[in-house]
Structure 1
């Protein structure tokens, strides 16, 4: 780990004009004489959440992370006395490792249904090794959910800098990307696609672009390579129940030697051995020691495969089975469609009505349906019955595309 610089920046939130050094962060933690173990996230001030989360964990307490909207319905938990006194930022990681079994309870993203409670420990959230070179991260996840928590621990454990990026519409993006020399961006494909219209230059100092949380989009990756010419693109497959499992630089994955016997593919679905699971997965999805992930794959070579969709993306419309993800990918190939979301709405006649939200300034609803027939060759039941032209796509709280 690099030596400590007293002026080294920990946290920047342009919206609140907050610029916090690691020295400030340590001072804040030392001055927190009391803490609670239920931590509420207010997106207007994530720094307060990070301080409250960290002081509880540094005291070895288990914590429950909740969204601010849930605060009114819940009683305030008891106050505990803090015993923490830090001398320098490196003490944060040393003390966290001493309390490696402390639990962090949080919720899944709720992409295709109700969010589910899941549990990790400090041991599973902290990276195994620290690195020598410091990075500046564009923090592009909601802070209360698993991906955001995981990135936060990666940042703190390496004394990296966190620049809050999730509410990007309110930010001077060019100024932050270049002036603050951001080196890593980690986000969902939906977030990147929503970000594209706001980027107006090339950003050569960015060294890594990390995809996660959703299916990798090659066409999107090609656009990002132009904007970030020096960046290495990483495609991460992770689940909230396990953390990171697979990594690639394209949409093709292989099961590495260390994962043999822990991951397997059965009926085109990825199965995860229960020994990799944290507390919280739905026990109905575990059979004979294997967790059925719901992620469907397609083999491209004997040992290389790519993820094609979720099981929940396969629905029946008028008696026909269709894959929402595949329809979406076909419609994305139409020049002039910037962003799209395909989903189903209940219908008393056909069971499900195929519906689309589309960001475009080139086509009308009628023209899109005509192109689905003439250009894409979609069957009548594969063409969205209802099309909404929108300015943005509905997302979950974690930046994923909302399916329901």
Structure 2
């Protein structure tokens, strides 16, 4: 069984994807070709914002967003400790200090009730993560941010396509970023990412930053980097785009079916009213995770853990002085979460096999 079945997706979409790739090979504009701007227009319209800036990957997207906000050494950026390393890593690479706020135990996202207490005179931005495919509580987060005059960056690497009170992920804050890593809900065949905003000045700055800070050839008003989205990757995403809405619907249906079948057996993802999830990962909580994973592996079912060690306990952040017990909810989640096979082509028979194996493993 595949954990994420990209091969079935490609077989389903092969003519459209192959045609898009061939068009790039024919015109030869491999760097910043017309497909990049075409994709940006499509995605901005979908999200409901004025600007989408295609970039090299989701990690670079975070850095470009921070650079656009002029985050400086010594600044503080608030985020969650329960996420992939890239979120805290980019803050630190800017010379800023990641300031962690404990997670909500139900959604696993940053708890907005604890946000204000983390704000100091050095705070320059708030970067919540929309984990596992479900948006963080942006109305509450934005309210605190507005009170203190702070921009909000959504790390939407896992949530592109999710809805929050009628709005789309990546259209909920000052800036947003996403990833098109192959396993994401909308994935390319290599690395890719994007930044989103309604702010014209920030959009212009991000477009400059991704091409070494230039606004015209060999003229560089700001420091930048090589952060472009490859034309071929944009073409692949355009080839996938016509069926993306159907895949989001399939993810929602499969996720809901998992939750229904696993109710009362394990802790399943919970969606508050007004939220949807694209289930970039379908993640449960279990006791004795190692034993459960071993049981599923013996049954031929792959699993994964996102993420076993919270950021404050990573060796690279030891200098922050945040030892075990600093964020008990995040630490407990790191010990208990486990992700099951999840993709839009997961049929009911395969899903039932996963559910039966989970039931047997926790019995």
TM-score greater than 0.5 by the shorter chain: no
- What TM-score do you get using the length of structure 2 for normalisation? 0.34
Q: Which one has more relative contact order, counting CA pairs under 8 Å at least 6 apart?
A: 2
Who wins on radius of gyration, i.e. which is larger? 1
Larger strand fraction of residues = 1
Larger helix fraction of residues = 2
